[in-house]
Structure 1
């Protein structure tokens, strides 16, 4: 048996026993059969009619909706994908593009700094190896005074010295060519940056740096001119002079060793071997000092000036005398109060007198 609530419209299965009140809203239950008028009588009105208007058929209830067309269905939010992850900082967005023309800087020619350093290191290694081979040869000459040497050992010592001397000579020439090319390119960049023209021609620079004996007088002069153009002669004067002196000594000893290398007696060969060892060591020292001069130039680019402008006080401006310091007022009961200070003096007071400064 089914009974419908007259207030909430809920259908209740009461089985075979008729009920009067709704268990949910405590409203009156309609009879299982017949109309509402038959149940309540012609003059009676059920509670639902008194509250909500005319009586609804069984199984229906009032629903409040807004006037007009039904509202559109609510769109469900789109499902978001996984959180994006980047292996590197993204470069999209927040990029500013400027239409100004890029600054054109003069391209510096000549060998690179790494090429010059590599050539100098290889040449110094060849000179050191040549000095070591001639030292071994001198030791074998001393041993040969009392003991007969093996022909293979004597031949290796003789021809080994010749081979290493030829290699060292070629490496010295290569270092001279590389340093000359670097000097020409550096001078061109320095004079161009300072707004002047190169006073020396390329052929005069090459002749003054590569011709033997002539380069002793002109190559250091070219280097000093470069240091003056870059305003670095104050820091590079001493290294250039030391390199110049050692280079002259190395050239003199090398010429003497070549002049005495045609002797045939045993004592003359030994003396020439010692002179050759000293010449190679002086050449190694001169090349090491030349590298120091080269690094002195390469530590600072041509475009970066060696001077630094600082602000100093103008001595021509009159200096106002400082106001005399006033004696400190004693602290205590007899100290003057703040209200008795003169107006001009009170304007310059930072801390009130007779009181501790604020924390």
Structure 2
């Protein structure tokens, strides 16, 4: 910011603060935008500041042209031009959660479950989920066909049915039963394969081998009536190894036992030839399919409970915490004593840091 003295005509760079008096002749400084249009009056200058007599003979600046004004400038050379910013590029995307972050000493001894001894070679979670949903759909279809068959049996007591309709409903129930049985076998094989791979990954994460061999797991999960005992035991061992609770394994176990008992009773009574025996067997088969459907639903919930948390991320994590001084102080000690014994945050007669 430049101001001109109205008396001696000296231009003063007052920077960013407007001043009133000229330091040389004690004359009045004009405003930054107002310049003298006429030469200052000739008179004896003030000698208090030792100004030379020839200062009044300097040429005075004329008025600025139209459209110009005085502006504040930075002293010295002009600043260098700013470098243009480089393009940042596309937004980074990650297929999985990034593992780079603050230093985590607890993660040094983790085992990679995708490579090495803890590799999971079993079916993916999507495949297991799709298999369970398909089995649920086929079981639901079998339930609907047997309900329709029972309704036609009630109607056939007083009305003669169309042979084509009777054949469609009868053979439809048979086809639905075959598809449901095939779906249950495929579901058992897929779930057993997933259980073996999950157990291998969990025990490898803990640095040891699975105490059960593969042939024990296959036999305990696929042999009928034997799997009622050993398959839930294998699953409970897996849950304990991962430190999980509340997975509804017991509810699934009870539903599976009831479904198996009703299914065996339905197969045993399927050889009835009289009308009432056929109707009773149809009701029993419908209940068996409903219990099987509930069992598959509970299996899906148990599977989702395991898949919500990866193998290498434990449920509980123990962290070492330094002992805080004075944490074990008894309650009888007054708070004033602890406040007096604490060191002063600031020294006396000193201003606090900004």
Q: What is the CA–CA distance in structure 1 between the aligned matches of 2:298 and 2:190, rounded to whole Å?
A: 16
Partner of 1:195: 207
What's the offset of the Cα at 1:188?
Answer: 0.5
Distance 1:243 1:318, change over 3 A: closer
Q: How does 1:73-88 map to 2 (within 5 A)?
A: 88=89
- Pairs aligned (count): 237
Question: 1:235 aligned to 238, 246, 249, which one?
Answer: 246
Partner of 1:122: 134
Partner of 1:73: none
What's the offset of the Cα at 1:201?
Answer: 1.0
State the secondary structure of the residue aligned to 1:224: helix
Q: How does 1:212-231 map to 2 (within 5 A)?
A: 212-231=224-243
What's the offset of the Cα at 1:85?
Answer: 9.9
State the secondary structure of the residue aligned to 1:235: coil
State the secondary structure of the residue aligned to 2:246: helix
Work out whether 1:259 is the aligned partner of 2:268. yes
Distance 1:207 1:320, change over 3 A: closer
Partner of 1:295: 304
Partner of 2:315: 306
Question: 1:111 aligned to 107, 111, 123, which one?
Answer: 123
Q: What is the CA–CA distance in structure 1 between the aligned matches of 2:243 and 2:236, rounded to whole Å?
A: 10
| TM-score, length of structure 2 as denominator length | 0.61
What's the offset of the Cα at 1:309?
Answer: 2.7
Q: How does 1:139-150 map to 2 (within 5 A)?
A: 139-150=151-162
Q: What is the CA–CA distance in structure 2 between the aligned matches of 1:315 and 1:324, rounded to whole Å?
A: 17
Partner of 1:277: 286
Question: 1:171 aligned to 166, 183, 189, which one?
Answer: 183
Question: 2:163 aligned to 151, 157, 162, which one?
Answer: 151
Note the residue ranges of structure 1 that are not aligned, 5 or more in a row: 1-82, 92-102, 327-343, 351-359
Partner of 1:183: 195
Q: What is the CA–CA distance in structure 1 between the aligned matches of 2:314 and 2:215, rounded to whole Å?
A: 29
Distance 1:90 1:218, change over 3 A: closer
Q: What is the CA–CA distance in structure 1 between the aligned matches of 2:181 and 2:91, rounded to whole Å?
A: 56
> How much is the aligned-residue C-alpha RMSD, in angstroms?
3.1
Distance 1:325 1:120, change over 3 A: same
What's the offset of the Cα at 1:302?
Answer: 0.6
Distance 1:157 1:196, change over 3 A: same
What's the offset of the Cα at 1:105?
Answer: 3.8
State the secondary structure of the residue aligned to 2:286: helix
Distance 1:109 1:90, change over 3 A: closer
What's the offset of the Cα at 1:303?
Answer: 0.5
Question: 2:222 aligned to 200, 210, 218, which one?
Answer: 210
Distance 1:85 1:264, change over 3 A: same
| TM-score, length of structure 1 as denominator length | 0.60
What's the offset of the Cα at 1:312?
Answer: 6.6
Over residues 32-83 of structure 1, what are the superposed CA-to-partner deviations in whole Å (9 max), with x where a residue is unaligned?
xxxxxxxxxxxxxxxxxxxxxxxxxxxxxxxxxxxxxxxxxxxxxxxxxxx9
Q: What is the CA–CA distance in structure 2 between the aligned matches of 1:178 and 1:90, rounded to whole Å?
A: 39
